[in-house]
Structures are given as C-alpha cells and as structure tokens.
C-alpha cells in the first residue's frame, strides 16, 4: 500500500469515528435534544464530519464545508446541548490541515472565520434555540454559553497552532536537509579536485619523462621518439579532459581553498578487494564481482572506487550485519556499478545527514555524464546503481 493510500485510509477511519461521535452527541446530548427525526440528526452528523476524509486533497474546501455545516446545524438547533464543541471537532481537524499545508498568512483567515462562526453559532443556540427545545424535568442542565464558547474557541486555536508548529518544524528540517546536501556537494567537489590532482600530476610526470626521452633520442632513435610522442599525446589529452571536468565542477559559488593531496597512487577497481575486507571486519559480508575494468581510465576507476566506498559505508551504518553484493563491470561501453544489500525492508531512524553520501556519489557520477539511482528494494534491503559511459564522454580523452 502506498503512502498516499495509507493516509487516505487513515483519514477515512477518522472521519467515520467523527461521524459516530457527532451523531451520538446530537441524538443523546446531556441537555435538551432536538425533537426532529433521527434521520435528520444522522444526516447532519455525516455532513459535518465525513468530508474530513478528503481533507488532505482539498483542505480549504473541506474546512469551508464542515465549518458551514457545524455553524448552520448549531444555529438551527440540531445540536447536542452541553456538547456543542464536538460538532466543531471536524472543523478543528480541517483547520489543523489548512495550517499544516499553508503558510500562516493564508491560514489565519480560516482561523478567524472558524472562531467567529463558532462563537456566533453557540451564542445564538443558547440565546434563541435552547429555550424552545423540550426539556424533561430531570434533564441535566447543559453547560452555560460562555463555557461552551470558550472550549470551542480553545479547540480551534489549539489545532491551528499545532498545525503551524508542525509546518514550521518541517520547513526547518527541509532547509537543514538542503543545507546538508549543498555542503555534501561542496565537499565532494573539493575531494574530486584533490583526486584529479593525483591523476593530472601523474599525467604531467609521465609527459615530462617521455619528453625528456624524446629529446635525448631525437637524432639516434626516431622510432622510440615517435612512440614517446604518442604516449605524450594520449596522456596530455587524458589529463586535459580531467582538468576541464575539475574546473567545471569547481566553477560554483561557495568553494573554499583547495589543498593538494599527497602524490600517491590513485585508487581504482584493484583496491575494491581491500574495501570488501574492511567491510567484512565491520560485520558485512561482501560478495565482489569485477569484470572488464583492466583498461578503465584512471578517473573512471577512481569514480568506481569512490561510489563503492560510499555505498559500503552506508551499508555498514544503516543495514546492520548483512550480506552485500558489489558489482563493477564494463558492459557495452558503460561502467556499471551496483551495490545491493539484504538489510531491513525499511530503514527507520536514519541519523540526520544520511543522504549526504548519496549526494556526493551522484555529483561524482554526473561529472562523467552518468546517472545514479538509489532506494529500497521491494524484497528488502537497499540498492545503489550507477552507470557511466566509458566512451566518448566518460573516457578521459
């Protein structure tokens, strides 16, 4: 069952309960009862409460309908003397929904209309309708008008305030999530820059060596000079492509100082076995499958390493001890990466910032013209799947 259907079912159940509650108060109130047919009382209860079932789809319309119905029924005397506040409970529910889904400046008119309508209807009922209702000698004396007005007003204000508070908290959480995602993108850009420093540094070193060789052998061994120049051409194109990508990613606001990384060998598919071993030490059994990555450009090899590294980190954090399958292979000109675990079907209580790693992975994959998807599997667990073209846009050169 989807979330929307589950919410609709919940609202329908709540609306039926409200219908029963309102019907009970108007048919058997503490004070004098309306002398009309029972069918009229039940119809009134349905009209007042049942629209709440679709309050999330049409919040303003539902508020208008249930509020007008409650005010009209109360003013007409079709109400439960002593329990008039119950007739405005559906309106309070609808008012909560309006406050939750709309900013305060748009929900305040609904609150004002509800307060004015409820106060006027309850006051009119006690001043003009109650004296005309038949009353038994031993009937309970209903609450006095100011008391019922106060309770009804308090209910409406409380529900509106709770809706505004929940909306505010959701807005704060959304802003925090956007801020964390932006921070993750900036961090990933800086990390990409450091990684490319290794790649470009390696390329420039190779170019320098081959240029020196070509210079020394220019007159004596022309065949070796040609081979050296070929290597220089290929390496320079690869390094230039990586450098352009780095500049494209870093050309954004909010970037900080880039500190070059140490000149160390670039991580790639060959280092994935070490990642799997470390994940095993953390209680995650990793089944690793690698294929067709021998001729992968260094930048794409690094991308595969980083994607798998972040995905395994998320598995260790959120999936508990489990089995994880990692596939990295080149198929039909695309580098395909997939990390799948068989953890719980639904990850509950993930810590704040759990999506930052996904934002970083997506940034890295998008940099090379690829795409990344991530989400829970129907049979349980979580899947991260990425694909990057090896040629032409995905290859460094």
Q: What CATH number does the domain containing 281 carry?
A: 3.30.565.10
- 158 and 33, same structural domain? yes
Whether 214 and 235 share a structural domain: yes
Instruction: Please report whether residue 260 resides in a domain.
Output: no
Residue 397 lies in a domain: no
Of 121, 154, 177, the domain-final residue: 177
With cut-offs at 50, 70 and 90, classify the pLDDT of residue 54.
Answer: very high
> How far is the C-alpha of 61 from the C-alpha of 63, rounded, in Å?
5
Can you tell me the distance from the alpha carbon of 255 to that of 89, in angstroms, rounded to the nearest whole number?
A: 52
CA distance 322 to 285: 6
> How many structural domains comprise the chain?
3
Judgement on whether residues 85 and 189 belong to the same structural domain of the protein? no
- 44 and 61 both lie in a single domain: yes
387 within 8 A of 334, measured Cβ to Cβ:
yes
The verdict on 273 and 362 lying in the same domain is yes
| pLDDT of 353 | 46
35 and 106: one domain? Answer: yes
HSE of 350, CA atoms in CB hemisphere, 13 A: 16
Q: Is 28 helix (H, G, I), strand (E, B) or coil?
A: coil
Q: Are the C-beta atoms of 184 and 360 separated by less than 8 Å?
A: yes
pLDDT tens, position by position, 309-323: 888 878 877 766 678
Compute φ and ψ for 285, nearest 5 degrees: -80, 120
What angle do helix axes 298-318 and 222-250 make, rounded to 10 degrees?
40
pLDDT in tens, 71-100: 998 888 787 776 788 889 999 999 999 999
Give DSSP secondary structure letters for 363-393: HHHHHTT-EEEEEE-TTSSEEEEEEEE-SSS
What six digits make up the tokens of 309?
A: 């590294």
**Cα separation of 23 and 48, whole Å?**
10
Model confidence at 223, in pLDDT bands (50, 70, 90)? confident
Share of residues in the chain with pLDDT > 90 (%): 29
pLDDT at residue number 306: 85
Per-residue pLDDT band at 250 (split at 50, 70, 90): low
Domain-terminating residue out of 135, 160, 177 = 177
Averaged pLDDT for residues 106-123: 90
Distance of alpha carbon 183 from alpha carbon 180, whole angstroms: 5
Is residue 39 situated within a structural domain? yes
Q: In this structure, is residue 146 part of a structural domain?
A: yes
Domain boundary among the residues 177, 197, 218 is at 177
pLDDT value of residue 263: 36
Q: Is the peptide bond before 387 cis (omega within 30 degrees of 0)?
A: no
Q: Kindly indicate the confidence band of residue 116, based on its pLDDT and cuts at 50, 70 and 90.
A: very high
Q: What is the pLDDT of residue 99?
A: 94
**Distance separating alpha carbons of residues 216 and 219, to the nearest angstrom:** 8
Angle at 167 (CA atoms; ends 163, 169), nearest 5 degrees: 120
Round the average pLDDT of the chain to a whole number and report it. 79
Model-level pTM?
0.56
The per-residue pLDDT for 358 is 79
The reply to whether 53 falls in a domain is yes
- Whether 189 and 129 map to the same domain: the answer is no
Same domain, yes or no: 276 and 347: yes
Give the per-residue pLDDT at 134. Answer: 55
Q: What is the pLDDT of residues 277-320, one digit of tens each?
A: 877 766 778 999 999 888 888 888 888 988 898 888 788 777 66
Q: Is residue 104 part of a domain?
A: yes
**Is residue 387 exposed (0-12), middle (13-18) or buried (19+ Cβ within 10 Å)?**
middle
Domain identity same for 114 and 211: no
pLDDT at res. 258: 41
**Percent with pLDDT over 70 in the chain:** 76
Whether 187 and 289 share a structural domain = no
Q: Which of 231, 232, 213, 209 is nearest to 221 (CA)?
A: 213
pLDDT in tens, 153-191: 999 999 999 999 999 999 999 899 889 888 887 877 777
- DSSP SS3 for 328: strand
> Residue 87 is part of which domain span?
3-177
Let me know whether 165 and 197 are in one domain: no
Residue 66 maps to a domain: yes
Residues in the chain: 397
Give residue 269's pLDDT band: very low, low, confident or very high (50, 70, 90).
Answer: confident
């Amino acid at each position: 069952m989807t979330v929307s259907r589950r919410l609709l079912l919940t609202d329908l159940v709540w609306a039926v309960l409200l219908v029963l509650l309102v019907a009970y108060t108007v048919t058997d109130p503490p004070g004098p009862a309306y002398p009309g047919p029972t069918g009229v009382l039940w119809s009134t209860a349905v009209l007042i409460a049942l629209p709440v079932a679709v309050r999330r789809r049409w919040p303003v319309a539902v508020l208008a309908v249930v509020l007008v119905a409650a005010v009209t029924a109360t003013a007409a005397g079709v109400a439960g003397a002593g329990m008039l506040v119950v007739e405005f409970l559906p309106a309070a529910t609808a008012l909560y929904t309006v406050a939750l889904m709309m900013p305060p400046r748009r929900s305040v008119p609904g609150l004002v209309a509800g307060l004015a309508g409820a106060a006027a209807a309850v006051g009119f009922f006690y001043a003009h309708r109650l004296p005309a209702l038949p009353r038994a000698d031993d009937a309970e004396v209903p609450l006095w008008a100011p008391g019922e007005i106060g309770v009804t007003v308090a209910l409406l204000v409380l529900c509106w305030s709770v809706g505004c508070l929940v909306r505010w908290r959701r807005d704060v959480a959304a802003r925090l999530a956007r801020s964390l995602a932006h921070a993750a993108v900036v961090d990933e850009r800086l990390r990409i820059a450091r990684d490319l420093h290794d790649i470009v540094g390696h390329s420039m070193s190779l170019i320098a060596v081959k240029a020196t060789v070509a210079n020394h052998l220019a007159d004596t061994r022309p065949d070796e000079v040609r081979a050296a120049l070929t290597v220089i051409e290929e390496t320079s194109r690869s390094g230039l492509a990586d450098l352009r990508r780095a500049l494209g990613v870093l050309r954004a606001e909010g970037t900080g100082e880039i500190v070059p990384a140490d000149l160390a060998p670039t991580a790639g598919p060959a280092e994935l076995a070490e990642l799997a071993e470390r994940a095993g030490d953390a209680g995650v059994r990793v089944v690793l499958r690698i294929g067709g990555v021998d001729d992968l450009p260094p930048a794409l090899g690094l991308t595969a390493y980083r994607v798998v590294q972040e995905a395994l980190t998320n598995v260790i954090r959120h999936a508990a001890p489990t089995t994880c399958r990692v596939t990295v292979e080149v198929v039909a000109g695309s580098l395909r990466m997939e990390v799948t675990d068989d953890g719980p079907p639904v990850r509950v209580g993930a810590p704040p910032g759990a999506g930052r790693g996904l934002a970083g992975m997506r940034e890295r994959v998008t940099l090379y013209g690829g795409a990344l998807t991530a989400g829970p599997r129907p049979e349980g667990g979580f899947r991260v799947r990425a694909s990057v073209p090896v040629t032409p846009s995905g290859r460094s050169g």
